[in-house]
Each structure stands twice: as C-alpha cells, then as structure tokens.
Amino acid sequence: MLGAMQDWDLRVTRIVDHAARENGPRELVSRWADGSETRTNWAEIRHEALRMVQALRRLGIGPGDRIATLAMNHTRHLVSWYGAIGIGGILHTLNPRLFDDQLEYIVNHAEDRVLCYDAAFQPIVDRMRSRWPTVEHYICFDSAAQERHFEDWIAAEDGDAHWAGGDERDPCMLCYTSGTTGNPKGVLYEHRSTMLHAIASLQPAVFDFDATAVMLPVVPMFHAASWGLPWSGAACGVKFVFSAVNDPAVLCDLLHREGVTHAAGVPTVWLSMLQHLDATGEDLGKLRRVICGGSAMPRAMIARFEGMDIDVGHAWGMTETSPIGTTGSRPWNWDALSFEQRVDAKALQGRVPFGVELRCVDLDDPTKTLPRDGKTAGALQVRGPWVIKRYFKAEADAALSPEQWFDTGDVAVIHADGNLQLTDRTKDVIKSGGEWISSVELENAAVGHPAVAEAAAIGIAHPKWDERPILVVVRKPGAEVEAQDILGFLADKVAKWWLPDAVEFVDEIPHTGTGKISKKDLREQFRDYRLS
Ligand code: ADP
C-alpha cells in the first residue's frame, strides 16, 4: 500500500519560488571588485533567473548540460546558479585558485558547454580557452569588453518562462574535490539531496538563521557550494551581503553598514579579520554567529569570538557531503559548562545535525566499529541522504562499505556527547612500531612555538619502526630557531615516542589550490630522505 499524500517533488527551484513569493522585497547586496555596490531582492533574483533560462534555451542549452561558473560571490553569480539549474542543467562551480592543469582536467571531464565568469578571471579564460574545447559560450558577469555581457544577455528576455520539470533524483550541481590525492573527482549533487541538505540546514544548530538574518557568506560559491548557503539562505529569505573581494577592511565595513548578523568562512579569513580588529580597534558590529570550517579552527580564535558574545559553529564537512557534516552544535550539558570548557568543546569539530550519521572504524580492520569514548582514533565514515554514493562518471561506487558508509579519509575520535575530533587524514597518519602518530597533533603543537610560521609532519621509512615522523618547518621572518629548540618545546606537549626524529627547515611548504598543505608534494620532496 502507498501513502496518500501529495506529489511535491523535491526540486530546488521550489526554493527560489518560495524566496520570491514569501520574502520578495528582501534585499540582497553585492559589493563588486571595483568598489561599486548594487542592490536587488528575491523577487528580482527569480525573475532574472527565469530570463537566464530563456537565454540559455535560445543558445540550445538544455537539461543535463553542464554550465560552469568561474566567479567570486555576487548576486549575478547567484542568479546564474538558479538559471542554470532552472533549465534542468547542471551548475558546475570552478575554483579559480586551481592550477591550470587541474582546470583543464576538470572542464574537460565535466564537458562544460557554457562558462559564466568574472572579468577579474579574464587572464585564466584567455590562457585556457584553447584547452577547453567543449566550452561553446563565454559570458562575462561584469564587463562587456570582450564577451557577451551577462546583464545584456538576459535583458533581451522577458522572464515569462517556467523551470524545467523532471525527477527529484535528477542532478543539479557538480563540484570537484581539490584533489589532495590524485586527479580531482566530481561530486554530482541531486535536486533531492540538495533540497534535504537545505532543509536540514534550517535546524538552529546549523546556521541558526531566519528571515531577520543578514548573512555574509565569505566562503566562496566555488568552495563546496558555499556550504549550501544559496539554498538554505533562500529558503529562509535572509538578506545576503556578497563581496567579490575578501579584504578584511572591506568586509568589516560591510558588516557595519549592512548590519550583518551571520557570517561563514574558513579560519584564514577570520585570522586576518581579527588582525584587522587589533590594528584598527574596530569591532564586528551586530555579528552574532560565525560558522567556520574547511580546516581546524584554532582554540584561541574560538575563545576570542565567544568572548565577544559571538556564537561559533565549528563545522566539519567535505565536498562529498554537500558539504555539511557537523556544525558545532552545543552538547546537552552546555549550560553546566564554564567558559573555558565551552571553548574546549567548540575546539572539537562538532556534532552532527539530524540527517548525518558518523562512525569510526578500526584503521586496520574496518569491520570493527570503535566505541565513542573520546580516545580511540579510527577511520571516520559518514552516511546520509546528501552524502556521495559514486563520483561523477565513475563505474563503481565510491569508498563505500556494504551498509553505504562512505570512507572520508579522515582519522577521528568521537566523544561520548557526539562531539567529533579530527586527528588526521588516513594517508597522513604516521605508523611507528605498529602504533599511530597523528601528524596534525604534532603540527598543532609545533606552530605554538613563537618562531614557527608553518609546520608539517610526515612519516619517513624506518628499518626498525616502519615509519618515524619528521617535522618540516618554515621559520617566521627574521626568527632564529634550531631543531633542538623545537624538540625541546615539543617535549612536554606530545608523547615521548611521538617526538620527530628530525626537524628540517624550508623556505616554503607546498600547498594545494585550496590552500591546504599538500602532504603528497611534501612526501615527494622528501622521497630520498634517510634518517640517520
Ligand atoms: P579536499 O579534501 O579536496 O581539500 P574538501 O574541501 O572537501 O576538499 O575538504 C574536506 C576535508 O577538509 C575534510 O575531509 C577534512 O580533512 C578537512 N576539514 C574540513 N573541515 C575541517 C575542520 N573543521 N577541521 C579540520 N579539518 C577539516
């Protein structure tokens, strides 16, 4: 027997309709790279997206086609998401910080037919055009100099159109992982998965916003779908404040002038913002909630925000999880915790919202599920309706166990209150004498030394212990520090057998296109290194 409720397929264009219908006059602001600002509202955004639907159809673009963007955050970029998905197409966000070879691989793998881009990225387009044979149409968001201008292109249409219909399991977005290992891999989100991710994001424990919120998504729209904010924000009817530049002075000015209450970004963004506050004596205005993820948020930063009465959501996720995994929601004993205990709790990677399941399994025997005891580290696995099943164009399912658990590649401990603590990535843990050493914990301890700008720990083959850690360090400019000083500093911070066998100083540690340390390149650099 089937149930007897209505057919309301979970297609995300419904979110755009809702935003325009229920919060139509609610404002959205774009601050452009040249310093100018434009204002629009949810009703207008929907109308423009429908114009784009007509303009795309006129170009012969249809359901299933890939439409790429290479752009910073602004309202035209938002319109292009809704327009591309509105014709039944697949919106593919490109990260302009990737290397040319990666951009070539990704666009060809995705077979993008249209590219909408910012004039600031014209040099990338000029360089890559001959290497992107599938791209037939180039549309520039903010300059008419060379290509079709986005505004003129859609202005030729009247917006009297309908979204394409289809199945809720149809794909709607494509995001590639940055490829810290091997080639980038595409994650193909569905209407249904994106809709459920958006609805789940309305739980207070996630972004904690409603229609009164003024949201500044510093996290770029090309970074893991801007953590889904273009959907959850539209579902709430928030006022979005977009900035095409991430300079802290510009962001701080916007925070004040637009009355921003909520913001989301990676730790480096907040690091430079706090330095800006120190230098200028400014404050953060009405800001009351900060969501921070992508890499670990330092404890001192959390203490600083919480001390300003700003609620920190320390989030963990990945492109493969749409990306919300955890969001730093408060544990049930929150009211009984002291300030320091609260900061300790938030320094961990947080608790899941409803809709995400986590577990850790033994690193050597994945059939063994580990206890949530706050001390046993294992391979972190995740499952849920917005977690990947299979990479784009892959023949086989992704790293899935028979019960559909996806292997995240992270190593973690889960605490009794559900709080997740990441300790490493599976490929980076160092195995010494049959025991695991966390490279991340070594690095965190090392960067506490005042002369250390950056540190990375990697395992080096060892005849007796299998592997032993070495620490690669970049000194702060002008700082004088030697290996013995660092080892002495670490001595009371990590277990004795974790102490690196050597400390090597370098001018630079290699990074990926998303700014994370590339252990793959570092290991390559130290391939012939021998421990004496
Ligand atoms: P990539 O792995 O290709 O860089 P993602 O942007 O999807 O692409 O990164 C996901 C990874 O980032 C996670 O698997 C995890 O290792 C790391 N990460 C995300 N959030 C956090 C966090 N709050 N603390 C520590 N690491 C994090």
The SS3 of residue 161 is: coil
pLDDT at 144: 64
Residue for token digits 């206890």? 371
Q: Are residues 325 and 441 in the same domain?
A: no
Q: Is the CA virtual torsion 69, 74, 76, 79 positive or negative?
A: positive
DSSP string over 454-493: EEEEEEEEETTTEEEEEEEEEEPTT----HHHHHHHHTTT
Q: Are residues 216 and 336 in the same domain?
A: yes
Tell me if 322 CB under 6 Å of ligand 1. no
Which tokens sit at 524? 């390559």
DSSP string over 343-360: HHHHHS-B-PPTT-EEEE
Q: Are residues 302 and 183 in the same domain?
A: yes
Q: Whose CA is nearest to atom 12 of ligand 1?
A: 294
**Residue-level pLDDT, tens digit, the chain, 532 residues:** 999 999 999 999 999 999 999 999 999 999 999 999 999 999 999 999 999 999 999 999 999 999 999 999 999 999 999 999 999 999 999 999 888 999 999 999 999 999 999 999 999 999 999 999 999 999 999 976 667 899 999 999 999 999 999 999 999 999 998 765 678 899 999 999 999 999 999 999 999 999 999 999 999 999 999 999 999 999 999 999 999 999 999 999 999 999 999 999 998 889 889 989 999 999 999 999 999 998 888 888 999 999 999 999 999 999 999 999 999 889 999 999 999 999 999 999 999 999 999 999 999 999 999 999 999 999 999 999 999 999 999 988 777 888 899 999 999 999 999 999 999 888 898 989 888 898 988 998 998 899 998 899 999 999 888 899 999 999 988 999 999 999 999 999 988 999 999 999 999 999 877 777 888 899 999 999 988 6
pLDDT at 435: 85
Q: How many whole angstroms from 446 Cα to the centroid of ligand 1?
A: 21
> Which residue, of 321, 347, 373, is where some domain finishes?
347
Q: Are residues 247 and 321 in the same domain?
A: yes
Q: Are residues 69 and 142 in the same domain?
A: yes
Which tokens sit at 292? 């921070």
The atom of ligand 1 lying closest to the CA of 318 is: 7
Residue for token digits 């620490």? 471
Q: Residue 266: CB partners within 8 Å, gap ≥ 6?
A: 218, 219, 223, 292, 293, 294, 295, 515
Tell me if 177 CB under 6 Å of ligand 1. yes
CA distance 504 to 442: 14
Tell me if 419 CB under 6 Å of ligand 1. no
Q: Are residues 268 and 411 in the same domain?
A: no
Q: Are residues 451 and 483 in the same domain?
A: yes
At 377, which CATH number? 2.30.38.10
Mutate to test the pocket of ligand 1, among 175, 178, 295, 423 (most ligand atoms within 8 A of CB): 295
Q: Does the residue 25 lie in any domain?
A: yes
**Total structural domains within the chain:** 3
Q: Are residues 366 and 485 in the same domain?
A: no
At 472, which CATH number? 3.30.300.30
Q: Are residues 214 and 308 in the same domain?
A: yes
Q: Does the residue 67 lie in any domain?
A: yes
Q: Pairing state of beta strands 112-117 and 90-93?
A: unpaired
Q: Whose CA is nearest to atom 16 of ligand 1?
A: 410
Q: How many whole angstroms from 408 Cα to the centroid of ligand 1?
A: 9
Residue whose C-alpha is closest to residue 242's, from 118, 146, 83: 118
At 269, which CATH number? 3.40.50.12780
Residue whose C-alpha is closest to residue 270's, from 253, 246, 254: 246
Q: How many whole angstroms from 19 Cα to the centroid of ligand 1?
A: 31
Which tokens sit at 521? 């390149």
Q: Does the residue 405 lie in any domain?
A: yes
Residue 415 sits in which domain range?
Answer: 357-425
Q: Does the residue 5 lie in any domain?
A: no
Q: Is the CA virtual torsion 423, 426, 431, 436 positive or negative?
A: positive
pTM of the model: 0.91
Q: How many whole angstroms from 430 Cα to the centroid of ligand 1?
A: 19
Mutate to test the pocket of ligand 1, among 185, 219, 410, 425 (most ligand atoms within 8 A of CB): 410
pLDDT at 512: 79
Tell me if 117 CB under 6 Å of ligand 1. no
Q: Are residues 146 and 249 in the same domain?
A: yes
> Which residue, of 379, 405, 425, is where some domain finishes?
425
Please state, rounded to an integer, the average pLDDT across all residues of the chain.
94
Tell me if 224 CB under 6 Å of ligand 1. yes
Q: How many whole angstroms from 317 Cα to the centroid of ligand 1?
A: 6
> Which residue, of 383, 400, 425, is where some domain finishes?
425
Query: Which residues are part of the catalytic machinery?
Result: 177, 320, 431, 436
Q: Identify the burial level of 520 via C-beta atoms within 10 angstroms of its C-beta, where 0-12 means exposed, 13-18 middle and 19 or more buried.
A: middle
Number of neighbouring beta carbons within 10 Å of residue 1: 3
Q: How many whole angstroms from 278 Cα to the centroid of ligand 1?
A: 28
Q: Does the residue 473 lie in any domain?
A: yes
Which tokens sit at 12? 């995300």
Q: Does the residue 532 lie in any domain?
A: no
Q: Whose CA is nearest to atom 6 of ligand 1?
A: 318
8 Å CB contact between 293 and 226? no
Q: Are residues 205 and 251 in the same domain?
A: yes
In single-letter form, the type of residue at position 26 comes to R
Q: Does the residue 61 lie in any domain?
A: yes
Q: Does the residue 3 lie in any domain?
A: no
In single-letter form, the type of residue at position 462 comes to H
DSSP string over 37-49: EEEEEHHHHHHHH
Tell me if 439 CB under 6 Å of ligand 1. no
Q: Are residues 402 and 447 in the same domain?
A: no
Please list the alpha-helical segments (H only) found in 59-140.
Answer: 75-86, 100-110, 122-128
pLDDT at 29: 98
The SS3 of residue 93 is: strand
